[in-house]
């Protein structure tokens, strides 16, 4: 385990724009209390976006086209929804809010808008529609996570009821899982920025795998639940987390470290978060998709899909 490639020197700029993707459903609006809370603490604005796609394809001769009249009606309804929601938010918050109706594929349109706005954060719920809605994050949220290179806060809807737009969730703690890799470390900067905006503390957590072969125990191994662990491995892991924690503390934040020397990474991280007040979990992902990812998964994917608490995800532009 080596020193992290990320640099945490200098000042972190305040958030300028937070994007909230919506689809007109009550479930999607459950992202708004979190977005409003962060925006209010940072004194920044919200940009509500909805992606319009052509509706009601019909055959004209040998080609498929859209019913222009029907499409225009739907487009008008979608814009009316954004206008009405903006008015509702103005009644419960002083956060500046504006809205846009975008065109094209959902993930690409939101990614391009985030780049155009130079957005600091995307906040969205992990519900979805269609056959895969209950299997993964929901097709739209899954695609956004894999495409967008803007840090994205994923929030699970709290029940079937409409979101309480007057609620202001308070971020007290971020759990940052690290494994010694370049990719995992890339989340530290975005997590530090979010936590500093909200006055949160941080937990750096590393899960190690124990050595199961008891008969092959050599000197300088310690007994732990599930097996044995070389003392040198534990020491290196602790020194690695301390190195990153030291850099973070340079920004006057409180950082805790925890090396867990046994257990499956994803389930252990989720259990740790659950027993430490259900904080936001922050992690980086490479954004890959396909059959291999569907069958094998990864620690990041498993955490994102199983977490009941919000998850801050960062997909670096060069991580693919």
Q: Given pLDDT bands bounded at 50, 70 and 90, which one contains residue 131? A: very low
Q: In this predicted model, what pLDDT tens digit does every residue of 182-224 receive, in sequence order?
A: 889 999 999 999 999 999 999 999 998 765 555 445 545 666 6
- 14-169: CATH topology: Rossmann fold (3.40.50)
What is the average per-residue pLDDT within 222-230?
Answer: 64
What's residue 294's pLDDT?
41
What's residue 3's pLDDT?
47
Q: Tell me if domain 14-169 and domain 170-281+293-304 are identical in fold.
A: yes
Is residue 152 scored above 60 in pLDDT? yes
- How far, in Å, CA of 60 to CA of 216, rounded? 73
What pTM was computed for the model? 0.85
Q: In this predicted model, what pLDDT tens digit does every residue of 43-74 receive, in sequence order?
A: 999 999 999 987 656 555 566 555 677 788 88
What's residue 257's pLDDT?
96
What is the average per-residue pLDDT within 221-238?
Answer: 74
- How far, in Å, CA of 219 to CA of 226, rounded? 18
What's residue 167's pLDDT?
93
Long-range contacts of 142-145 (CB under 8 A, 24+ apart): 142/289, 143/105, 143/106, 143/107, 144/21, 144/106, 144/107, 144/110, 144/111, 145/285, 145/287, 145/304, 145/313, 145/315
What's residue 295's pLDDT?
37
Is residue 146 scored above 70 in pLDDT? yes
What's residue 264's pLDDT?
85
Contact 308, 279 (CB under 8 A): no
Sequence ranges of the domains in the chain:
14-169, 170-281+293-304
Q: Given pLDDT bands bounded at 50, 70 and 90, which one contains residue 135? A: very low
Residue of higher predicted confidence among 284 and 65: 284
What is the average per-residue pLDDT within 101-122?
Answer: 94
Is residue 181 scored above 80 in pLDDT? yes
What's residue 291's pLDDT?
38
CATH number of 170-281+293-304: 3.40.50.620
- From the list 104, 99, 124, the residue with the least C-alpha distance to 35 is 124
């Amino acid at each position: 385990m080596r020193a992290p490639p990320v640099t945490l020197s200098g000042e972190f700029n305040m958030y300028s724009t937070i994007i909230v993707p919506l689809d007109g459903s009550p479930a999607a609006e459950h992202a708004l209390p979190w977005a409003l809370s962060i925006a209010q603490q940072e004194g920044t604005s919200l940009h509500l976006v909805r992606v319009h796609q052509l509706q009601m394809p019909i055959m004209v001769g040998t080609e498929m086209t859209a019913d222009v009249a029907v499409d225009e009606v739907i487009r008008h309804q979608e814009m009316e929804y954004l206008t009405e929601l903006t008015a509702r938010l103005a009644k419960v918050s002083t956060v500046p809010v504006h809205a846009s109706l975008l065109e094209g594929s959902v993930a690409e349109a939101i990614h391009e808008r985030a780049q155009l706005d130079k957005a600091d954060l995307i906040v969205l719920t992990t519900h979805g529609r269609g056959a895969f809605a209950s299997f993964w994050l929901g097709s739209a949220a899954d695609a956004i996570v894999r495409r967008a290179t803007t840090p994205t806060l994923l929030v699970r809807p709290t029940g079937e009821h409409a979101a309480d737009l007057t609620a202001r969730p308070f971020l007290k703690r971020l759990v940052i899982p690290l494994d010694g890799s370049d990719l995992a470390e890339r989340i530290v900067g975005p997590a530090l920025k979010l936590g500093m905006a909200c006055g949160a503390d941080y937990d750096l957590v590393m899960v190690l795998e124990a050595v199961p072969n008891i008969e092959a125990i050599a000197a300088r191994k310690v007994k732990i639940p599930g097996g044995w662990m070389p003392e040198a491995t534990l020491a290196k892991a602790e020194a690695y987390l301390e190195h990153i924690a030291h850099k973070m503390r340079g920004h006057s934040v409180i950082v805790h470290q925890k090396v867990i020397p046994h257990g499956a990474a994803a389930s252990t991280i989720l259990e740790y978060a659950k027993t430490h007040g259900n904080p936001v979990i922050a992690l980086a992902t490479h954004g890959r998709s396909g059959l291999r990812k569907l069958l094998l998964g990864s620690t990041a994917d498993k955490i994102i899909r199983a977490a009941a608490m919000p998850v801050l995800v960062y997909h670096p532009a060069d991580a693919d």
